[in-house]
Amino acid sequence: MAEPPTCPPPETPAPRAPMQAFEKQGKGDKVKDLHGLLHDLSVREAMGLSRADNARIDAWVPPVIRGNVQ
């Protein structure tokens, strides 16, 4: 008798702790953190983002925000 197919385990949701910490920050701190995420590759590297994550961020950020508008 053949083995029944196994289903992969359901994906676990991302931990809420980083999001909760962000939610508790004041507006100035949020702006600083988001600016670093969108404009500073060393911040992304420190966060452990993959190349795919970086590509998604770069594709999402409009050229006006990136400063590439002429």
pLDDT single digits (tens) 11-37? 666 667 778 888 999 999 999 999 998
Report yes or no: 61 and 38 within 8 Å, Cβ to Cβ: yes
Distance CA 39, CA 62 (A): 12
Q: Token match 């594709």: residue?
A: 59
Of 19, 52, 21, 57, residue with least CA distance to 36: 57
Q: Which residues contact 22 (CB under 8 A, 6 or more apart)?
A: 30, 33
- What residue spans define the domains of the chain? 24-66
Q: How confident is the model at residue 63 (pLDDT cuts 50, 70, 90)?
A: confident
Segment among 23-27, 41-45, 66-70 with least mean pLDDT: 66-70
